[in-house]
Amino acid sequence: MTDITWKSYAFIRHRVDDWLAEVGRIVMLIGETFRMLGRGMRSLGLIVDQMHAIGVQSLLLVVIVSMFTGAVAAVQAAYQFDNVVPLKFIGSVILRSVIIELGPVLTALIVGGRVGASIAAELGTMRVTEQVDALEAMAINPVRYLVVPRVVAAFIMLPMLTIIANTIAVFGGYVVAVTSVGVSTHTYVAGLREFFLMRDLISGLIKSFFFGGIISWMGCYYGFRTEGGAQGVGVATTRAVVASCVLVLISDYVLANVLFRFIFAT
Amino acid sequence: MIQIRGLKKRLGTRNVLDGVDLDIPTGKTVVIMGRSGTGKSVLLKHIIGLMKPDAGSIKVDDTELVGLNERDLNLVRIRFGLLFQGGALFDSMTVGGNVGLPLREHTPMKPAEIEARVRERLEWVGLKDVENVTPASLSGGMRKRVGLARAIAMDPAYILYDEPTTGLDPIMSDVINQLIRSMQTRMGVTGIVVTHDMNSAYHVGDFLAMLHEGKVVFTGTPDEARNTSDPMVRQFIEGSSEGPIKPL
């Protein structure tokens, strides 16, 4: 082997080792979260606080983004129908694209950016200011006290935010369809009803449930791994957001295959 | 009684602890002194199980800490209070919330009882009517005192102090020194103080131990430290840049 080939091999091997170690640590955090779930669930106050931080405080952003998502979907659908597809289908196209894909994924990306960053920054600051050590020194398991409430809250709030996002997006689509595309309320609603399938809604909510776990675990993991000072917190925050968004999109593909090819296959 | 034998810890390429042997007698305050970066805080974190050694033994009242599972380690930790260098107060909680946290987590005490205990411990450290204040609005000295109130909330048998006077003005340093002494007389606790502040070391220590290059190179009373002929200890306590210890 030439020197450059050997160096390339060593570099790739080193990166793969690091990556596998990272995956291992994330799996261990997830395992520890499940181990602490029973005791962590008793701290209802902490879970409610996190539901407020993750869900209620993300609401305005989710409403704005989903309103315009529905509006854009209506404009795009009208443009692509282009006298080929009857406009009575505009409601069903918006509804199905929103509840299967746009609602869960866009909500997860918004919350991933806002909440993932916030969790990583908060836990990262706690790590570098020895607050996490203080918990351990007081015989309080940091995973039970910090991770479980965030993960449980995210598991509950992501599907709820997704339901709200779906509703607002369909309403946004309705406003544009009626005011600028020329579709009547009756036609739009008939389109919604005609092609609505409960399994589409359920599959979107199942996806958002998984996205909640991804976002909160990534925020907690990178927060706990923070080293150094302010710069370390910045690095952890960036990594948490990037990892959340990438994993949301990858798991969206995996879940879409599992749900529509196997579980809800017709 | 805490017995440390042959404690070793390697961090990166450096042997931070390289065979530490140290006894901490019950009811006494032992000061661990040494230059910055000699592993004093690392030693403290080993004593409370926040770090695991590569080799060696730590016995707390005949319980071996090394290799203990989490549940048993927590039973030992509950008997300790730890005052962190920066206080390590939870900024998402009020002062009262911070001091009361270990009580809420580990005791069946009712909220009114916790409130009374929090008020009492804050008064012990000279703070009144600060229960509803957030840590962010406190001065450095007040943060340390709140940290100390939290450390003593559970009536610990041992209190560990990590650089208790670092960053404080001389008057506040003396207040903290007096508090460390008063904890020993009032509660009869065993204290371990990590510091490089010699004034503080003489004031609070029944025994002094000097850590250098991962080993304990001196143990003795404050008077023995003052009168030692060991050039390394003399250089450190006199704060001289000339001697066997080379500036980094």
pLDDT tens digit string along B107-130?
999 999 999 999 999 999 889 999
Checking if the pLDDT of B44 tops 80, the result is yes
CA trace torsion A169, A170, A172, A173 (10° rounding) = 120
The model's confidence at residue B42, banded by pLDDT at 50, 70 and 90, is: very high
Low-confidence ranges of chain A (pLDDT < 70): 1, 266
Q: What is the mean pLDDT of chain A?
A: 93
What letter would DSSP give residue A86? Answer: -
**Helix and strand tally (H, E) in chain B?**
9, 10
Give the Cα separation of A191 and A93 in Å (integer).
8
Instruction: Please tell me which residue, B139 or A223, carries the higher pLDDT value.
Output: A223
Put simply, the answer to whether A131 touches B90 (Cβ < 8 Å) is yes
Backbone angles phi, psi at B82, to 5 degrees: -125, 120
Average pLDDT over residues B75-84: 94
Q: Give first-to-last CA distance, chain A, whole Å.
A: 54
Q: Are strands B55-60 and B29-33 parallel, antiparallel or unpaired?
A: unpaired
What is residue A260's predicted lDDT score, i.e. its pLDDT? 85
What's the Cα-to-Cα distance from A68 to each of A62, A64, A73, A93, A230, rounded to whole Å? 10, 6, 8, 16, 36
**How much is the mean pLDDT over chain B?**
91
| Confidence grade of residue B229 (pLDDT, cut at 50, 70, 90) | confident
Q: How close is the nearest chain B Cα to the Cα of A255, in Å? A: 36
Which chain B residues have a beta carbon less than 8 Å from that of A138? Answer: 77, 101-102, 105-106
CA distance A67 to A71: 6
pLDDT at A1: 62
CB contact under 8 A, A133 and B50: yes
Contact (Cβ atoms closer than 8 angstroms) between residue B35 and residue B241 = no
Binned at pLDDT 50, 70 and 90, residue B8 comes out as very high
CA–CA separation, A199 vs A31, rounded Å?
A: 30
Model pTM?
Answer: 0.89
Say whether B84 and A139 touch across the interface (CB within 8 A).
no
Nearest to A134 among B78, B84, B92 (CB): B84
Q: What is the mean pLDDT of residues B214-241?
A: 88
pLDDT tens track for B151-193? 999 999 999 999 988 888 888 888 889 989 988 888 889 999 9
Strand, coil or helix: what is B162?
A: strand
Query: Which pair of tokens denotes residue A258?
Result: 């599992």
Percent of chain B with pLDDT over 70: 100
Average pLDDT over residues B19-31: 93
